Amino acid sequence: MLSTTCSLFGGVRKDADSCEYDGSFAKALDMAAKKKINKKQILVRLVDLPRAGRRMFYMREMKILNTLCERYSLEFMNVMTFKRKVDSMAYFACEALRPTMDQKFRAFNFKVDKSDYPTYNIHNKRFGRDVNPDTTKLTIKNFLDE
């Protein structure tokens, strides 16, 4: 019998007893995939890129993005969206937009306190009578005879 970890990397005829794979590499890959957030993709998504002078542009915008990540979080900046692209990340760091950014950050971190609401378990109770559908095959002949 093949185990699930052996079937990831082993061939069809590989025996589970000959496998020494413990799954740690796959776990590490899963964790890295979840944690890896590309800051350059955040900039491309939020800011219009200039045609020339991109090196200085990325240096300036990365500094502003890092400041915003300290204020809020990198995960928040990764999912934050606005209706249109802006010319610079300085737009998001300005004091005029700070209340809007704070409101979006609070909405991002909002967790519903389920202790205030009663929970109902309706999956183990039956309501109404049971219906047993007719399981005979309906053929054209049977249909036309009705």
Angle between helices 39-46 and 54-71 (to 10 degrees): 100
Q: Is there a single domain that holds both residue 71 and residue 17?
A: no
Q: Is there a single domain that holds both residue 62 and residue 25?
A: no
> Which range has highest mean pLDDT (36-40, 80-84, 102-106, 123-127)?
102-106
Do the domain assignments include residue 144? no
pTM of the model: 0.56
10: which residues sit within 8 A by CB, 6+ positions away? 2, 19, 21
**What domain range is 21 assigned to?**
4-35
Q: Is there a single domain that holds both residue 96 and residue 55?
A: yes
Do the domain assignments include residue 120? no
- Percent with pLDDT over 70 in the chain: 73
Q: Is there a single domain that holds both residue 45 and residue 104?
A: yes
Instruction: Look at residue 86 and give its three-state secondary structure.
Output: strand
Q: Is there a single domain that holds both residue 8 and residue 64?
A: no
Q: Is there a single domain that holds both residue 56 and residue 20?
A: no
